[in-house]
Structure 1
Amino acid sequence: MRLISLLRLAAQAESLRWRRMGRGYAIQAALGAGAAAFALMLLVMLHVAALIWLAEGRNGVSAALIIAFVDLVILAVLGWLAARHAEDPVAVEAERVRNDALRQVGDQTARVAMLAPLLRSQSAKKGLVGAALTAAVVGLLTRR
């Protein structure tokens, strides 16, 4: 009885911990969205200031076109940087290690599954057939 109450207490504590972490992440996301909105307004005001500054000696349309061209160049550079797909060598190595570990688990499972019917069977012939079928099924499942 005490074990069940301890497990229930642990589950309730874990649930509370996840709810509080979620609440904290939600608050952080809301504050980040507010900061992004003010950053966007700052960018707009900087564009307006640049437009006014450039328009003093030129036509307003040419000043707006200069700002648009600068924005286009910045957009192209940032877009090019975002489109590059550089693989993280640590992530590639982690994926290789994971695949190797899963393959080894599959191999070990297949060996155990193949030997278990042999050990349980009264007849060696029936045990070999059961082992072969079990190994084939486990092999098919681990290759997925």
Structure 2
Amino acid sequence: MPLVIAKMLESNSLWFIARLLVLVLFISSGLAKVLNYENSLAEMRAAGLNPDWFFNIASAAVMLIGSVFVLLNRLLWLATGALAVFLFLTIVIVHTFWSYTGEHAQIAMFWAIEHIAVIGGLMAVAIAGHFRRLYFALKTQK
């Protein structure tokens, strides 16, 4: 690997940008739940979640607090795990493609596949964070 690429991959700036890009989904959705509260309540009711206000606040809190922890590179395993569980539950509760037919099933399946891909990205962030910590600890010991 060229040295310039290695230095870029080791850079804290690129590490922050990578985490931020993985979190765009959560930050935008969490803010939408806070800033467009009535619409978010309607989404919760449409998904059959009652009380709607509780699930809306809980969803926004998990997405925004989890994102802050990931951006701060703190308790990365816990924050990425919480966001991944949130996405998994969203698939099981909201994007139940197996219970629909036609176009509705296809759209729900696309959302589920997207969520699964993001879960993989969250796992990669947790793994990369762990190995970055080990790498820099070893590098400072030399």
- Structure with the larger RCO, 1 or 2 (CA within 8 Å, 6+ apart): 2
Larger Rg: 1
Interval of TM-score (by shorter of Structure 1 and Structure 2) = under 0.3
TM-score (norm 2): 0.27
TM-score (norm 1): 0.27
